[in-house]
Amino acid sequence: MIPYGKQTINQDDIDAVVDVLRSDFLTQGPKVAEFEADLANYCKAKYSLAVNNATAALHLTYLAIGLKPGDIVWTTPNTFVATANAALYCGATIEFVDIDSRTYNLSIDHLKKKLVKAKQCKALPKLVVPVHFAGQSCEMKAIRQLSKEYGFKVVEDASHALGGEYMGNKVGCCEYSDMAVFSFHPVKMITTGEGGAITTNNEKYFKKIQMLRSHGITKNADEFIYEADGGWYYEQKELGFNYRLTDMQAALGISQLKRLNSFVDRRREIARQYCDKLDKNMLPYQHPDTSSSWHLFVLQIQNRREVYQRLKSQGIMTQVHYIPLTNQPYYSQKSLPNTRVFYQNCLSLPIFVDLSQEQQMKVILNLQ
């Protein structure tokens, strides 16, 4: 069976985790801080915070900007439910912006039109969350310009896009956003088993998230309200969460991050092979300002159900990314035209680092 995606684990990864298992620290130890420093350095961001999954990361970024009941969040319907759910955890209201029919990312044109109407109705969003679908960055410069004009914050859901670039810089550098969120689920660019992270250049957000991910507790004496009883003293400043990553997971992340560039290179090689061999009318478009990390390779296929079943019968597993949030019973909002067309025809092909030439040719031949 050829899966649509899977992790790549080598002996270095195993050794890194075993070293932690033999150490004094399994949960809160030095490896988390090391992983955070490595990730910040890779993305060229000032700060990085590792957490237990990307959903937690989204929740924390939304809380850090002060999202509360009555606030409005806009995002794309072409995403996993967590992007929107995390806003509801804060009591906010979710609205959706249609996608671009070529990139499948949040449409700048639709965003502009919706902002004009929202300003007239005095219903502007507090936060816009562009999602870098399949590993290709959204048009962040344009989104940032609109954020300055209309006064909203920007959090990049970059769960798919670690290792990708936008206008020559790594996704996650936060040049055009307040924060960015990554996922380290096994099918993503690198894995920590489960895990996520946030990058930012804003010290205030960094400190807020650092406290919220650990029960709202601080051990920083400069932030104490009461006099410390001793070296063991800490204070709970806010109602926080247990969203911490373990040292075991961080050790795996450190090891995986060392190979991230080679992982991305291999995914790009696989994507080129698909692009060279498959019908051009099915292929995903790549914006010239971006260089995708190719978390997903998504075709547009008219007879999707038939193709899905045929490939499955040949031992080739594909997937659909995503059932739009506007189609979900929980959200049940008006369907958006570009998103509707995309969903009717989208199919994700196998793409992962260990996909062999023989396996990929089997996929290609079954699509011709």
Q: What percent of the chain has pLDDT over 70?
A: 100
Per the domain annotation, does 5 fall within a domain?
A: no
Per-residue pLDDT at 332:
84
**Do residues 200 and 280 both lie within one domain?**
no
CATH code assigned at 189: 3.40.640.10
**Do residues 217 and 265 both lie within one domain?**
no
- How far lies 139's CA from each of 131, 193, 254, 357, in Å? 10, 30, 29, 33
**Do residues 196 and 209 both lie within one domain?**
yes
**Do residues 206 and 85 both lie within one domain?**
yes
**Do residues 171 and 278 both lie within one domain?**
no
Q: What percent of the chain has pLDDT over 90?
A: 99
pLDDT digits (tens, 9 = 90+) for 165-221: 999 999 999 999 999 999 999 999 999 999 999 999 999 999 999 999 999 999 999
pLDDT digits (tens, 9 = 90+) for 328-344: 999 988 889 999 999 99
Q: Which domain holds residue 167?
A: 11-257
Domain edge (last residue) among 210, 242, 257: 257
**Do residues 109 and 180 both lie within one domain?**
yes
Going by pLDDT thresholds of 50, 70 and 90, the confidence category of residue 283 is: very high
pTM assigned to the model: 0.97
Cα–Cα distance measured from residue 139 to residue 106, given in angstroms and rounded to the nearest whole number: 8
**Do residues 42 and 162 both lie within one domain?**
yes
Per the domain annotation, does 68 fall within a domain?
A: yes
Domain edge (last residue) among 236, 257, 278: 257
**Do residues 151 and 163 both lie within one domain?**
yes
Contact between 193 and 65 (Cβ < 8 Å): no
Q: Dihedral sign, CA of 258, 195, 243, 96?
A: positive
Domain edge (last residue) among 257, 277, 302: 257
R_g of the chain, CA atoms, integer Å: 21
Task: Name the domain count of the chain.
Answer: 2
pLDDT digits (tens, 9 = 90+) for 303-336: 999 999 999 999 999 999 999 999 999 998 888 9
Strand order in the sheet with 165-166: 169-170, 165-166, 290-291
Cα–Cα distance measured from residue 162 to residue 164, given in angstroms and rounded to the nearest whole number: 6
**Do residues 184 and 312 both lie within one domain?**
no
Per-residue pLDDT at 334:
86
Cα–Cα distance measured from residue 60 to residue 358, given in angstroms and rounded to the nearest whole number: 43
